[in-house]
Amino acid sequence: MGLNAGYILKRVGFALVTLYVAITVNFLLPRLMGGDIADTIASEMALGSPEVAAALREQFGLDNTNLFYQYKQYLVQLFQGNMGVSYVNYPAPVTEVMLSALPWTLGTVLIATILSYGIGWMIGIKGAWKSGSLFDNISLFVSFFLNSVPYFWIGIIMIMIFSFHLDLFPLGKAIPHDFDSLSFMGKITTIIHHAALPVISMIIASLAGHILVLRNNLIRVLSEDYMLLAKAKGLSNRRRKYTYGARNALLPSFTGLMITLGHVIGGALTMEIVFSYPGVGLVTFNAILNHDFPLIQGAFLFIAISVIIANLIADLMYPIIDPRVALQ
Amino acid sequence: MIKNKQTRWLLSFSFTIMIILMIGCTTNNPAISSNNDSDGKIQFHLGETINPEQVSNFNPFLVNGNWQGLFEYIYEPLFYFNPVQGELMPVLAEELGTWSEDQKTYTVELLDDVVWHDGQEFSAEDVLYTFHALKEHKVLDQYQIWSDKRLNEVTADGNTITFKLNEKFPSLPFYLSTVEIVSKHSFDGEDPSTHLNKEPIGTGPFKYKSVNESAIILEKNADHHSHVPTIDELVVNRFNNASTLTLSLEEGSIDASTGTIAMPSIPKLLENSAAKMQVYPGLNVFSVIMNNERPGLDDEAVRRAIQLAIDRTTLIEKAEMNSVFPANPGFLPKVFNEMVDDALFENDAYQFNIEQAIQVLEEAGYTKNTNGIFEKDGKELAFTYNMASNAPAQNKEGTMITQWLQEVGIKTTVKLVTWPELTKLAMSGNYDLLQNGIEFPPDPQAALEVFHSKMTAPEGENTPGLNYMRFSDDDVDQWLDEASVADETTRQDLYKKVQNRIAEQAPVAVMYNVGGHIPYRVDNFTNYNEDVPVYSAISLSQVEPK
């Protein structure tokens, strides 16, 4: 199968080193931004009082400005599973803030990513198999058009048509205000109702790339001699298309899928803003604007871990999809 | 075969469209507003940008982790500062308090028959607990009312609360309006500086019911001491951006916001006769803050030229869509009524005038170089202009201002930074020009003390107050010190002197005064009280469905 212990150890070791580097960079990056959250709050809320700023600094654990001391504390806390307390969500822990936003992100971005790749691949395969057909030409035209349109435009157009004018979907948000009073089925239906436009818009906006990559790779694979041999041997269309063609053309698209899945946890900031939808993207964005170091660190750590895990899974799956990878 | 395939695709496509339309059509659509929910309750829908970090706690003592606007409906202070009229109104007090002869004791009578939302009786003990919590936790005493020169002791005798001061502090009643009174029994045993207070219990006209990702729901307090709301529920719809909120307002799915609106959409919104806008002055003055210690800006003539180069009317009309109030060149906003020198607003000496700006610089010995930039002793008038990133309206205004400065002959290099960085630059003095708001409590003394030299520090050191300009004037210091302990008439005179000096010396170039610009709809509800902010607890207690 090509999957051996040496290969696995090498990949896992590389993932661990990457994780340590990511943790350290997570610590350093926010601190390079300048600005002091305690001063900002005191300036906005307390006439710039240095007494209030000092008290806030003590409350946030920022009274010791030694960077090495803070780094040591950060690592110790992290290994104990404690990501600290968010400044702007004070006194809520970072983990709680992240976990409250995560389900909305996974529910929309993850589903949209999987559906987008699935639909994109199916269209790409069909287009490549019947290259030059009406279907192929239309899918190419639509792909190029969608590829050149920014996501926020698609989102806004969908809101204006389906929400504002046709009134088929809500203007935004994840649930209605009376969500708590709904039955279980009512809750499920209303979540789907609210998530429909964000998910569909994300699918539409990302579909083109998946179609084009797989279509072009498959056209290249289909011109290989072994495909001609398979046809000469009388293998069925389905087997030639999927087992011989698509499987070999899939590797670059599979890499793209795994990278995208790793980034799912980072949320989709534009979607969250356009649809006023809760999620990790906006939490992270606001944390950066507010210089909320613990939350920035927590958010980027979540993202880093998910990217590393997704890459590790991809690395471990490559030899299964393409045995030549492990041999190389 | 081909026909079959085409049919299959057509069927799949039709099925997908049907599913989408079914999801859209079959679910109860909450987007369109109605006065009533399914139980027949009268609901008023307010909208505001309330991010996840603003519902982490419901503790009115804390300055972050919550949306401060919520507390107005649930809790009550002793007095309410009404920015529309610029006056204090008694809330939990029978009437405004009385001063002792030596002006060092302030006595307030509490209302009788006030009960907390959980049915327990409100008492003077709750007021004492609230003020002692501020005393014991410095981080909560944001305006330092317990500092050495201010409060010394708060005592209670029956329903009478006595505030004893170390020195005269005539502004005390204004500061009392900033403190929401909490119930001692719900905070007992908790640390008020960390308590999440997830089930807030207040005395206000609305009781906390629930919160979710979409809204905070409050219900009417049927036992309210002054005015039981007509509406059954106040639904505070949460948005994360102004554009969606504005669309909801246009569509009618919310009845008002507490001030957030996408500025460019205001004209379109107001085309609808059901939409109104209430505008009133407030406690934030946006300005081009100048570092008075920097070469060039240490020259009064240059600062005056910058002041003359800012077309405040155009900023208000084109960038803020007439939703802010004109600023006073002497800084004190209109919200402080008779304390303000109204003549300064119209004084020709402080109006936009490019020719006058050029003349001021020429008279001060500046000459234009070949690039059209003024210089003196070989040094160009060239400054870095700092403003906030991710703030479209601010950036638009900054572009207009830097263009006007260019017309005068003052060169600027724009630098975009985050809001916290902007504050850091201002505090440390590491800037030339900086566009930002200066916010203060409802106290004219505090607003003008922004220019007191005790509120500043040399460049490189953090200022102990909001005098980011590094402005210093002995007369201003003396007038403000005298005003801090003076009677009302004397203060009025002294404040006018301070305002005139600020206008003359131009330590800042004011842009506009931000108070309230409140969009609201009158198609579902009537009887808004426009003598107070229409979104305020007082007004929403009185609104009635049409």
What pLDDT sits at residue A293?
Answer: 83
Which of the residue ranges A228-242, A276-290, B30-44, B144-158 would you say has the lowest mean pLDDT? B30-44
Within the 31-60 window of chain A, which residues sit less than 8 Å (CB to CB) from chain B? 33-37, 39-41, 43-52, 55-56, 58-59
pLDDT digits (tens, 9 = 90+) for B193-204: 889 999 999 999
Phi-psi region of B259 (alpha: psi -120 to 50; beta: other; left: phi over 0): left
Interface of B with A in 121-140 (CB under 8 A): 137-139
Query: Residue A273: what residue type?
Result: I
Question: pLDDT of B340-362, one tens digit each?
Answer: 999 999 999 999 999 999 999 99
**Of A304 and B91, which is predicted with more confidence?**
B91
Q: Return d(Cα B200, Cα B183) in angstroms, integer.
A: 9
- Which single residue is written with the structure tokens 């600062």? B303
Domain stop point among B139, B161, B187? B187
Tell me, what's the pLDDT at A327? Answer: 56
CATH number of residue B246's parent domain: 3.40.190.10
Regarding whether B212 and B179 lie in a shared domain, the answer is no
The H-or-E segment that residue B108 falls in is strand B105-109
Residue B414 host element (H or E): strand B411-417
Please report which confidence band the pLDDT of residue A328 belongs to, taking 50, 70 and 90 as the band edges. Answer: low
> Same domain, yes or no, for B315 and B449?
yes
Say if B353 falls within a structural domain.
yes
Nearest Cβ partner of A171 from B51, B62, B247?
Answer: B247
Residue B209 pLDDT? 95
Q: Number of C-alpha atoms within 13 angstroms, CB side, residue B115? A: 9
Q: Nearest CB to A44: which of B24, B137, B439? A: B439
Does residue B54 form part of some domain?
Answer: no
Domains of chain B: total? 3
B90, B137: one domain: yes
Q: What is the pLDDT of residue B32?
A: 44
Residue A67 has a pLDDT of 82
Range of the domain at B300: 281-516
Is B336 inside a domain boundary? yes
B321 vs B316: CA distance, rounded Å: 6
Exposed/middle/buried for residue B283 (C-beta within 10 Å: 0-12, 13-18, 19+): buried
pLDDT at B459 exceeding the cut of 70: yes
The answer to whether A43 contacts B426, with C-beta atoms less than 8 Å apart, is yes
Q: How confident is the model at residue B48 (pLDDT cuts 50, 70, 90)?
A: very high
CATH number at residue B94: 3.90.76.10
Does A169 reach chain B within 8 Å, measured CB to CB?
A: yes
Shortest alpha-carbon distance between residue B261 and chain A (Å): 14
Dist. CA B214–CA B236, nearest whole Å:
9
Same domain, B143 and B239: no
Confidence label for B1 from pLDDT (cuts 50, 70 and 90)? very low
Nearest to A190 among B27, B143, B241 (CB): B27
The per-type count for chain B, helices as H runs and strands as E runs, is: 17, 22
In a domain, B58, yes or no: no
Q: Same domain, yes or no, for B267 and B299?
A: no
Residue B31: the pLDDT is: 41
Highest-confidence segment of A86-90, A163-167, B89-93: B89-93
* pLDDT at residue number A117: 92
Together in a domain, B426 and B332: yes
Asked if B424 and A163 come within 8 Å (Cβ–Cβ), the reply is no
Q: Which pLDDT score is estimated for B29?
A: 43
**In this structure, are B208 and B234 located in the same domain?**
yes
Residue B19 falls within a domain, yes or no? no
Residue with tokens 């050495």: B148
Q: Number of A to B CB contacts under 8 A, please give it.
A: 208
CA atoms within 13 A on the CB side of A145: 8
Confidence of residue B38 (pLDDT cuts 50, 70, 90): low
User: Do residues B270 and B285 both lie within one domain?
Assistant: no
Q: Is the pLDDT of residue B143 over 50?
A: yes
Report the pLDDT value the prediction gives residue B358, as an integer from 0 to 100. Answer: 97
pLDDT, one tens digit per residue, over B275-284 is 999 999 999 9
State how far Cα B524 lies from the chain centre.
Answer: 28
User: What would the mean pLDDT of A190-198 be, rounded to a whole number?
Assistant: 94
Which residue of chain B comes nearest to A160, CA vs CA?
B247
Gap from A39 CA to chain B (nearest CA, Å): 7
Q: B294-328 burial, b for 16+ CB within 10 Å, e for fewer?
A: bebbebebbbbbbbbbbbbeebbeebbbebbbbbb
Residues of chain A with pLDDT > 90: what percent?
Answer: 19
What is the per-residue pLDDT for A6? 79
Domain for residue B125, yes or no? Answer: yes
Does the pLDDT value for residue B473 go beyond 50? yes
Superfamily the domain A102-284 falls into: MetI-like (1.10.3720.10)
**Range B326-333 average pLDDT:** 95
Nearest to A90 among B26, B29, B65 (CB): B65
B512 and B526 in a single domain? The answer is no
User: Which among A176, A100, A172, A301 has a CA at the least distance from the CA of B55?
Assistant: A100
Residues B532 and B408 in one domain: no
Contact B424 A39 (CB under 8 A): yes
Quick one: B427 and B289 in the same domain? yes
What is the spatial distance between Cα B497 and Cα B476, in angstroms, rounded to a whole number?
A: 8
Work out whether the CA dihedral A22, A23, A24, A28 comes out positive or negative.
Answer: positive
Q: Which amino acid is at A247?
A: R
Examine the domain organization and report whether B236 and B364 are in the same domain. no
**CB of A85 closer than 8 Å to CB of A92:** yes
Surface of B (153-212) touching A: CB under 8 A: 193-194, 196, 210, 212
CATH number of residue B375's parent domain: 3.10.105.10
Rounded-to-5 percentages of helix, strand, coil across chain B:
35, 25, 40
